[in-house]
């Protein structure tokens, strides 16, 4: 561990975590990030309070978690040393509970909320916000440059604005990447992260459907610069940025910055609507599955789900 985290405290936390109401756990936790796939939280404990923890309860055994960790570290290394993107210092640890469950925790320093991309872009003045957005676009363009040059390894990235943090650099602001928990990269065309891990929280039948209908499409788009940018732009609707002026302006910035086929407002909006539909379907099916598991069968549903995604 790069960070000085007491593994026993984390184990105690995991063993007593109330996944339906984390704030009511004996070591209380507060969810600070409602992502689509996992939740990030702050743990109210003297030894853990300065960190952000991302909990991944998706592993069936130690070996699976170790494999994931290897892939995670390689991904971070490729982003930093290969692509040249600054990545928020990230560590991780495998927690094994007394009853034999394996949970992986990603650990990062707890960053100030107002420095997270989506908050930053909303609160900063227009010029700084656009400047930050432009820099994010340039970081994403590096991924394409890397992929063009690299034969064996291709890197995917989820460029959404909430995956970046604004940090101070040479009297200005620069973006660093924070959302590394889905390490997307391919070696000789083969996706290194097992698709099953991504879909672990979905009900079994839906899992099959998602895997065959959407997964390839959903994953492919993280390897295609134009789609990465459209995804980033579409997400700004979800972030409730002003769609009359600000979003069109940012679309223009992206078009100016990159050598890609021009992105239009209508295209971005249509993408947003379709994407919202897919994710809402995914979330509501997971909620139903959680209900069945936890309430009907009284067994354990291990995921912390967002109550409602604001759109």
**What is the CB neighbour count within 10 angstroms for residue 84?**
12
Minimum distance between the CB of residue 217 and ligand ADP, rounded to whole angstroms? 19
Sort 151 into a burial class: Cβ within 10 Å, 0-12 / 13-18 / 19+.
exposed
Nearer to ligand ADP, 80 or 145 (CB): 80
Q: Using CA atoms of 40, 44, 47, 50 in order, give the dihedral in degrees to the nearest 10.
A: 50
147, 162, 201, 235: which one binds ligand ADP (CB under 6 A): 162
181: partner contacted, choices ligand ADP, Mg ion, none (Cβ within 5-8 A by kind):
ligand ADP
User: Residue 228 binds which one of ligand ADP, Mg ion, none, with CB within 5 to 8 A depending on kind?
Assistant: none
Q: Residues 292, 60, 204, 274: what is their CA dihedral angle, to the nearest 10 degrees? A: 100
- Should residue 219 be labelled a site residue for ligand ADP when binding is judged by CB under 6 A? no
Residue 179 interacts with Mg ion (CB under 5 A): yes or no: yes
**Binding to Mg ion (CB under 5 A): which residues in 27-46?**
35
Find which of ligand ADP, Mg ion, none residue 90 binds, CB within 5 to 8 Å per kind. none
CB of 297 to ligand ADP, least distance (A): 27
Strand partners, 56: 104
- Report yes or no: 226 and 260 within 8 Å, Cβ to Cβ: yes
SS3 assignment, position 230:
helix
Q: Which lies closer to ligand ADP via its Cβ, residue 26 or residue 123?
A: 123
Q: By CB neighbour count within 10 A (0-12 exposed, 13-18 middle, 19+ buried), where does 8 fall?
A: exposed
Encoded tokens for 93:
């640890």
The interface with ligand ADP within residues 44-63 (CB under 6 A) comprises: 52, 54
DSSP helix/strand/coil, 257: helix
Choices 74-82, 155-163, 189-197, 225-233; region in contact with Mg ion by CB under 5 A = 155-163
Residues that bind ligand ADP (CB under 6 A): 32-33, 35, 37-38, 40, 52, 54, 108, 110-111, 116, 162-163, 178-179, 181
């Amino acid at each position: 561990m790069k960070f000085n985290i007491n593994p026993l405290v984390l184990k105690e936390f995991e063993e007593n975590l109330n996944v339906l109401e984390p704030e009511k756990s004996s070591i209380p936790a507060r969810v600070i990030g409602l992502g689509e796939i996992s939740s990030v939280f702050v743990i109210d404990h003297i030894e853990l309070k300065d960190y952000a923890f991302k909990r991944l309860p998706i592993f069936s055994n130690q070996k699976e978690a170790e494999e994931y960790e290897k892939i995670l570290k390689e991904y971070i290394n490729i982003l930093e040393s290969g692509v040249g993107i600054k990545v928020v210092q990230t560590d991780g640890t495998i927690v094994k509970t007394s009853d034999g469950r394996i949970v992986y925790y990603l650990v990062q320093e707890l960053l100030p909320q107002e420095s997270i991309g989506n908050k930053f872009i909303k609160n900063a003045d227009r010029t700084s916000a656009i400047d930050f957005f432009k820099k994010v676009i340039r970081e994403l363009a590096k991924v394409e440059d890397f992929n063009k040059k690299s034969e064996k390894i291709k890197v995917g990235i989820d460029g959404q604005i909430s995956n970046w943090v604004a940090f101070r650099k040479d009297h200005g602001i620069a973006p660093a990447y924070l959302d590394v928990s889905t390490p997307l990269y391919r070696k000789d065309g083969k996706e290194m992260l097992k698709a099953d891990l991504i879909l672990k929280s979905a009900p079994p039948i839906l899992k099959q459907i998602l895997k065959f209908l959407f997964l390839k499409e959903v994953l492919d788009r993280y390897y295609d610069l134009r789609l990465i940018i459209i995804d980033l732009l579409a997400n700004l609707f979800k972030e409730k940025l002003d769609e009359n002026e600000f979003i069109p302006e940012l679309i223009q910035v992206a078009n100016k910055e990159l050598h890609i086929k021009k992105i239009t407002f209508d295209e971005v909006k249509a993408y947003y609507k379709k994407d919202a539909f897919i994710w809402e379907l995914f979330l509501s099916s997971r909620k139903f599955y959680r209900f069945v598991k936890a309430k009907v069968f009284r067994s354990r549903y291990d995921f912390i789900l967002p109550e409602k995604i604001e759109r």
